[in-house]
Structure 1
Amino acid sequence: MAGFPAFVRELDATLSVHPQYVLWGNLHDSFLVPQEGRLFPLRDLLWETLRRSGYSFMIVYDQVDGLRVHPADDRDAADAAASLFGSRVDERKVPSLEGLRTYLSALARPGHPVRAAFVVDYASRIARSATELEPAEKDFFVFCEKLSRTATPVRADGDRPKPLYNPIIWLAERPGDLPPWLTTDNDGIREIPVPRPHLGDRQQTARLLARAFESTDPSVDVTDDFAQEAEGLTLQAMIEVTRLAKERDVTLEELPDAVRTYKLGVLDNPWKREHLRKRIVDGEQRVPARVVGQPQAVTKTLDILKRAVLGLSGAQAARASSRPRGVLFFAGPTGVGKTELAKAITSLVFGSEDAYLRFDMSEFSAEHAGDRLIGSPPGYVGFEAGGELTNAVRQDPFRVILFDEIEKAHPRILDKFLQILEDGRLTDGRGNTAFFSESILVFTSNLGTRHVRPGMPYTDLETEIRGAVTEHFTTELNRPELLNRFGDNIVIFDFIGPEAAGRIFELQLTNICRRVSDEHHMKLLLSDEVTATLRDWCTSELDKGGRGIGMALESSFINPLARALFDRGPATEVTVTGIRRDGNIAVVDLR
């Protein structure tokens, strides 16, 4: 049994003490046996294991196909089954749970020295609910519980003559899919998880599958790249990737691209478009014009973006990973351009802000709110809908995803981000996996801004805010590993200065004039005196950032302008000649 997967070796080694088993987890995969030089489906792997221990046949049951003798079309197996059950197995009918008892009883307490096994496939589908059984379901499982305590082992000739049980093997997606009382404190039933393949399994499988290509001696580097890109996939999925590659005439060296296509379901990769480099170069002029007054933040963000475009994120690691294409942590005062910069890089890389997805983490302050991201567990309301985050990424993995004010999220929800940052994937409540390897993740935070003020040197502000971020994750949350995943991708934003505030004011005032023209076909002009007054009013509180300028423009100019235009008849051109305050109310004069 050397070389067989560990879970099936565990089953084989304990056949003398356990009459029933629950195998759960990665059941629909293929499994590598290097000595055999092939991959086995679970059913064939179980039979190969049992055959070597002197078992004559295996019965496989599910609620669709009924009973099947395995191996199929084997006269000796069929004859042995007829000897054990007293007649040939009728494969034309699907027995009821009541009728199934006859077969299970004859197998677990055999009247003849025949070794056999009974596999209950799709065991998770037998009961409507593991905790709310129908009467017939409850009677069936009580019978199986009693059978696990009264089964008798069988002696046989061969390499293992000592008594072994004829096992009943339940194949369940999760251990909780069977009634909990069936296995609790029951030494007769052993639960064995079937894990997903590790890197070593994928490497050996990659070398085996490489034989499908014309190359007779594939290099270790090529197959290892295939195995590493297949992180998170099953061995069966690697088989499907190879089939996809052959169908599309993909070479062995191009298999990683086939893995990406299999994972993401898309062929067009925006990260490999030839014009993207030119767009990034152009962005060095366009982004600072859009995100005003943040030269340090913009420069560092574009550096990280260039690294992502070249595929060099995490290049210092010994092997490639499936981590997100880029990770950014924007920290700094409110209203200084953190969200605007996220939108700017979305437009820069993907050509449109449609690829921008935002989550306000203040809405995820409760632990259960995490279900919104990945969907509810089976049996809970909303399970069928899936998660907002996982659904969006599965629909389009090429995205910029903004998690706004991350410090407001419940600490348990942060564990999900740890998985995304480390593994580049997240599995929703329905078992579907979303891959983030082509996404840019942006986290924003206002941590540390209470202790900084406009006008202080940028280096002092950066030190204060970075220290607050470190304190929050290491001491308050006790999540230093999450901070480590952000690494040097923490980008600190400064307060906007007077010059930047003036430019933001001009941009927003221009937007107002454009909106009036678009909505009312009216040219709006302001006298120099009015413009100067408004600038003084709107840029006096720099600690509120660009958002504060917009709020001041709304109350000091847009509201009185709307009031005046509402009372005025249609016109093609209007000039604001004066502006003043009457108490707390602003008033404009039009001509």
Structure 2
Amino acid sequence: MATPSEFLPGFPAFTQELAGTLAVHSQYVLHGNVRDLYLVPDTRGRAPGGVRPTPLLEVLWQALHPSGYRCLIVSDQVDGITVYPPGDPAARAAAERLLGRRMIGRKQTLERLRTCMARVAGAAEPPPIDADAVPPAPAPDDSPAGPDGVRAALVIDYAARIPRSQTGLEGVERDFFLFAQKLAVTAETHLGGPPDRPADLFNPVIWLTEGERDLPAWLTVGMERVRSIAVAGPGLSDRMRAARYFAPIITGDRTAPPDTDPDVARFAQRTDDMTLHAMREIARLAADRRMPIGRIEDAIRIYRIGVDQNPWRQETVRRQIMLGESEVPKRIHGQQPAVVKAFDILKRAALGLSGAQASSSANRPRGVLFLAGPTGVGKTELAKQLATMLFGDPDAYLRFDMSEFSASHSADRLTGAPPGYVGYEAGGELTGAIRRKPFSVVLFDEFEKANRQIFDKFLQILDDGRLTDGQGVTTYFTECMLIFTSNLGIFRDDPATGEKVQLVHPGIDHDTLERTVKEAIKDHFTRELGRPELLNRFGDNIVVFDFISEPTALRILDGQLRNVEERLSREHGVHLELGGAARQRLQRWCAAPETLTNGGRGIGNEVESKLINPLARYLFDQDVRWGKVRVEDITAADGLVTLHARHER
């Protein structure tokens, strides 16, 4: 005898699995993508592409009806107990024969739901939940006739919402699920079906829920009569067929485009993380905005992040990038090779060509930069400059110091705590910020200090361009510029002493520095972390910064001295003038090898300790409120820095 699954060519796999096992399973838990549309063959031959996107109840009905099932009895907390197909007199009559007339249309309660389950399965009706309650006698015309000759299925929708609390079951709820578990064991099959294919099948109970563990685990674990079936999201083949079906909504042409249509292929490929329901809404959005199907990527972007205007495509971005090529090197001194490569990657991002060689690149972030090299050489400053340059808004720059995310639980700060944990309602710091500002430059500073669990998050962002937070909300990073910084390759831990040993020093040629740093990064990802796949996602986007050279240090010093002079003049009316000896001493201190090792921050520290601190002491002690202060010399001895200066009124 043919199995029911053989009657369902072209149907979703979960329906074939369900229909093919009705002889051995009395209950099913359908979990996962249960709120979507599903492709079924178009028997009328009028649908584009030969398929029709269909809601779940209709798919279940079409799957069960060939085996003689006469109706679906559907129960949920909103609509109560209803019959599917609606408006079908034969289905209504079958449901009334099973349940009695007065049960249809009633509000769902645990009492009524237990009664429905027992009557559909053909089991003995349970006593009332309230032991002292006396059940009302049924009306003479309202007595159920039992399941003999009536094949039906009970669908319990939104099953995860039956318990009032997500942390535990109340007494009556526990008793209800215990009854369901016992019913799964004691239910019996019933002979029925088409005359040419009679079979002993169950009248099943079908639970619908988003998560496999949304129902009590003991209801399904170890229960052979209860089958858990995952309802998967649409694969590429389904999305291709759906794209052909939905394309006429956009084009206005009722005929389906050919399989080879490149616009249809892009529609399917760019929605690899989305449901068929979302594809339909994207098509409607494109039609409403009169977007041709050739602009399907814009419709997808608007649907995902809710932003119509794309800053990346504005002419101002192109002008700002061209302006930045001349302005940024003035702020980030001595890093010409790194800045040039960073701008190459930025131009690629602005044109939407990041990862263009890959077929699935459209869902990746706009651009990715991995800035490596010594501390204090301009890596963080470059991220700030890029944010201001691209979007004209320093607030578009988000910085996460990954040294603060070294604990095992710190990943929850980025995406939010899972349900039941403290902080669940607050959401994630990263996902929340990107949803508020989807066009952002995001800096992950000192990347290598993050906890290993966070690397899984980064892998998903770099690969799929999205991240799902603790509340189940998906955040898209497709319009972000992601910048990672790292000091890997500059120091290593000595296994004998446990101290840090510097691998490279100021004065080393850039090619040797770049080779050493990249080799250390590769070693860190492959050997220490065991995550070479994450390194592969960065590809050639690793930009190595050089040490600050002596000429560069002097330029940085000049800039910092100007800042000090301007602050004194603006806020205190004091004009600062440095004599030759004082300036030369500052230059020697700031160009010393130990200072260059710490980059611009080291220079700033020297200016603060050797000039600003003694200058503040002089101004305060001498009660200088205006006029000119000329610093002739600066000396340091026994830990004390002395300023040799005179005040001219």
TM-score by length of 2: 0.88
8 Å CA contact 1:328–1:441 kept in 2: the answer is yes
- Over the residues paired in the alignment, what is the CA RMSD in angstroms? 1.6
After the TM superposition, which of the residue ranges 340-349 and 299-308 deviates more from structure 2? Answer: 340-349
Q: Cα gap change, 1:131/1:319 in structure 2, threshold over 3 Å: closer, same or farther?
A: closer
Aligned partner of 2:19 in structure 1 is: 12
Report the 3-state secondary structure (helix = DSSP H, G, I; strand = E; otherwise coil) of the residue aligned with 1:33.
strand
Task: Report the alpha carbon displacement of residue 34 of structure 1 after superposing the two structures with TM.
Answer: 4.2
CA distance in 2, matches of 1:89, 1:74: 17
CA distance in 1, matches of 2:52, 2:554: 70
CA distance in 2, matches of 1:122, 1:566: 72
Matched residue type, 1:128: R
Aligned partner of 1:66 in structure 2 is: 80
Aligned partner of 1:453 in structure 2 is: 505
After the TM superposition, which of the residue ranges 519-528 and 218-227 deviates more from structure 2? Answer: 519-528
Aligned partner of 1:325 in structure 2 is: 366
Q: Cα gap change, 1:19/1:292 in structure 2, threshold over 3 Å: closer, same or farther?
A: same
CA distance in 2, matches of 1:547, 1:160: 83
Report the 3-state secondary structure (helix = DSSP H, G, I; strand = E; otherwise coil) of the residue aligned with 1:580.
strand
CA distance in 2, matches of 1:18, 1:553: 78
Matched residue type, 2:203: N
Structure 1 counterpart of 2:451, from 410, 419, 436:
410
Aligned partner of 2:52 in structure 1 is: 38
Aligned partner of 1:142 in structure 2 is: 178
After the TM superposition, which of the residue ranges 167-176 and 313-322 deviates more from structure 2? Answer: 313-322
Report the 3-state secondary structure (helix = DSSP H, G, I; strand = E; otherwise coil) of the residue aligned with 1:524.
strand
1:436-447 map, 5 Å: 436-447=477-488
8 Å CA contact 1:124–1:172 kept in 2: the answer is yes
Structure 2 counterpart of 1:297, from 333, 338, 347:
338
Aligned partner of 1:167 in structure 2 is: 204
Matched residue type, 1:133: L
Figure out how many residues of one structure are paired with residues of the other and give that number. 590
Structure 2 counterpart of 1:156, from 192, 215, 222:
192
User: Is 1:313 the counterpart of 2:336 in the alignment?
Assistant: no
8 Å CA contact 2:75–2:108 kept in 1: the answer is no
User: Is 1:556 the counterpart of 2:602 in the alignment?
Assistant: no
Q: Cα gap change, 1:226/1:180 in structure 2, threshold over 3 Å: closer, same or farther?
A: same
Aligned partner of 1:476 in structure 2 is: 528
Matched residue type, 2:76: D
8 Å CA contact 2:370–2:485 kept in 1: the answer is yes
1:77-476 map, 5 Å: 77-91=91-105, 93-109=106-122, 110-129=146-165, 132-158=168-194, 160-212=197-249, 213-215=251-253, 216=255, 218=257, 220-450=261-491, 451-476=503-528
Task: Report the alpha carbon displacement of residue 75 of structure 1 after superposing the two structures with TM.
Answer: 1.3
CA distance in 2, matches of 1:349, 1:151: 66
User: Is 1:494 the counterpart of 2:546 in the alignment?
Assistant: yes
8 Å CA contact 2:565–2:575 kept in 1: the answer is yes
Report the 3-state secondary structure (helix = DSSP H, G, I; strand = E; otherwise coil) of the residue aligned with 2:69.
coil
Runs in 1 of length 4+ with deviation above 4 angstroms?
A: none
8 Å CA contact 1:346–1:400 kept in 2: the answer is yes
Aligned partner of 2:635 in structure 1 is: 580
Q: Cα gap change, 1:399/1:131 in structure 2, threshold over 3 Å: closer, same or farther?
A: closer
Task: Report the alpha carbon displacement of residue 480 of structure 1 after superposing the two structures with TM.
Answer: 0.8
CA distance in 1, matches of 2:628, 2:41: 83
Deviations 1:150-209 (A, max 9, x none): 111122131641111111111111121111111110011111111111222111111100
CA distance in 2, matches of 1:268, 1:498: 46
After the TM superposition, which of the residue ranges 200-209 and 126-135 deviates more from structure 2? Answer: 126-135
After the TM superposition, which of the residue ranges 386-395 and 276-285 deviates more from structure 2? Answer: 276-285
After the TM superposition, which of the residue ranges 251-260 and 579-588 deviates more from structure 2? Answer: 579-588
Task: Report the alpha carbon displacement of residue 532 of structure 1 after superposing the two structures with TM.
Answer: 2.2
* Higher radius of gyration, 1 or 2: 2
Report the 3-state secondary structure (helix = DSSP H, G, I; strand = E; otherwise coil) of the residue aligned with 1:175.
coil
Query: Structure 2: any 5+ residue segments left out of the alignment?
Result: 1-7, 44-50, 123-145, 492-502
CA distance in 1, matches of 2:571, 2:156: 69
8 Å CA contact 1:81–1:88 kept in 2: the answer is no
8 Å CA contact 2:121–2:147 kept in 1: the answer is no
Deviations 1:383-423 (A, max 9, x none): 11111111111111111111111111122210111111111
Report the 3-state secondary structure (helix = DSSP H, G, I; strand = E; otherwise coil) of the residue aligned with 1:275.
helix
Task: Report the alpha carbon displacement of residue 585 of structure 1 after superposing the two structures with TM.
Answer: 2.2
Aligned partner of 2:61 in structure 1 is: 47
Q: Cα gap change, 1:500/1:406 in structure 2, threshold over 3 Å: closer, same or farther?
A: same
Task: Report the alpha carbon displacement of residue 587 of structure 1 after superposing the two structures with TM.
Answer: 2.6
8 Å CA contact 2:68–2:193 kept in 1: the answer is yes
Aligned partner of 1:527 in structure 2 is: 579
8 Å CA contact 2:151–2:193 kept in 1: the answer is no
CA distance in 2, matches of 1:378, 1:206: 35
CA distance in 2, matches of 1:285, 1:565: 39
8 Å CA contact 1:78–1:88 kept in 2: the answer is no
8 Å CA contact 1:54–1:160 kept in 2: the answer is no
After the TM superposition, which of the residue ranges 460-469 and 110-119 deviates more from structure 2? Answer: 110-119
Task: Report the alpha carbon displacement of residue 217 of structure 1 after superposing the two structures with TM.
Answer: 5.8
Identical positions, percent: 52
Matched residue type, 1:163: D
After the TM superposition, which of the residue ranges 155-164 and 478-487 deviates more from structure 2? Answer: 155-164
CA distance in 2, matches of 1:494, 1:485: 23
Matched residue type, 2:598: K
Deviations 1:431-465 (A, max 9, x none): 11111111111111111102111111111111111
Deviations 1:539-577 (A, max 9, x none): 312111111111111111111222222231421443334
CA distance in 1, matches of 2:19, 2:569: 80
Q: Cα gap change, 1:560/1:4 in structure 2, threshold over 3 Å: closer, same or farther?
A: same
CA distance in 1, matches of 2:190, 2:95: 15
Deviations 1:324-347 (A, max 9, x none): 111111111111111111112212
Deviations 1:208-233 (A, max 9, x none): 00112224564610111111222211
Report the 3-state secondary structure (helix = DSSP H, G, I; strand = E; otherwise coil) of the residue aligned with 2:363.
coil
8 Å CA contact 1:578–1:590 kept in 2: the answer is no
8 Å CA contact 2:74–2:154 kept in 1: the answer is yes
CA distance in 1, matches of 2:108, 2:235: 39
Task: Report the alpha carbon displacement of residue 528 of structure 1 after superposing the two structures with TM.
Answer: 3.1
Aligned partner of 2:131 in structure 1 is: none
Matched residue type, 2:114: R
Matched residue type, 1:307: R
Deviations 1:108-133 (A, max 9, x none): 12442211111111111111346521
Report the 3-state secondary structure (helix = DSSP H, G, I; strand = E; otherwise coil) of the residue aligned with 2:101.
coil
CA distance in 1, matches of 2:518, 2:507: 18
Query: Structure 1: any 5+ residue segments left out of the alignment?
Result: none
Task: Report the alpha carbon displacement of residue 257 of structure 1 after superposing the two structures with TM.
Answer: 0.6
